[in-house]
């Protein structure tokens, strides 16, 4: 096992991208109501060189992303822009590590007052499809919160088409985690 250390690490989370590349995600020091602004840095662990992803673009910790494509060519994150006093448009950006370009691939409007009570998972199934799952928090009698499925659909990046997932188990329970089979068998 080859272990490498990152000097002067001050991030919240590190995700391996390639053999010598790590994605470092940290608090950027700004907020959109309850949502924390995030800074995304690519770090070459061999040279300790850091490169910020799309500086000048406000990135927020709104959706939870899982990439099961088997390749690490893209990084996904969300941006958000207010469109009214309580309204916000949230875009999913797919950042291509090779070209250094980010492209909006999905857009959704929300009320901020409702969005803070939602848990949204986005699973990159391959280069063409996303699985988007929305749950909302509900309070129970014991003052604990749990989530209830609201929506789950397959999204085509090229056409923008949404296909509802109608499997009764997935529609009721959602997807907690998913593991790519490629390379695991």
Task: Tell me the average confidence (pLDDT) per consecutive run of 10 residues in the chain, 185 residues long.
Answer: 65 80 92 94 89 95 91 92 94 95 97 94 94 87 75 96 92 82 57
The model's pTM is 0.87
Rounded CA-CA distance 39/164 in Å is: 33
The CA–CA distances, whole Å, from 102 to 9, 32, 46, 97 equal 25, 21, 25, 9
Element at 114 (helix H, strand E) = helix 112-115
Q: Residue for token digits 């700004």? A: 30
């Amino acid at each position: 096992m080859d272990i490498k250390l990152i000097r002067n690490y001050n991030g919240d989370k590190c995700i391996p991208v390639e053999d010598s590349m790590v994605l470092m995600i940290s608090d950027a020091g700004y907020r959109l109501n309850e949502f924390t602004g995030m800074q995304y840095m690519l770090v070459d662990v061999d040279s300790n060189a850091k490169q910020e992803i799309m500086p000048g673009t406000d990135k927020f910790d709104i959706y939870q992303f899982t990439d099961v494509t088997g390749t690490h060519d893209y990084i996904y994150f969300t941006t958000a822009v207010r469109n009214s006093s309580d309204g916000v448009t949230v875009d999913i950006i797919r950042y291509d590590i090779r070209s250094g370009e980010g492209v909006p691939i999905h857009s959704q409007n929300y009320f901020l007052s409702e969005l803070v009570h939602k848990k949204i998972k986005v699973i990159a199934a391959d280069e063409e499809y996303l699985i988007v799952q929305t749950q909302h928090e509900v309070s129970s009698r014991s003052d604990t919160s749990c989530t209830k499925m609201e929506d789950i659909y397959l999204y085509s990046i090229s056409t923008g088409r949404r296909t509802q997932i109608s499997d009764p188990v997935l529609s009721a329970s959602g997807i907690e985690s998913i593991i790519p089979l490629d390379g695991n068998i």
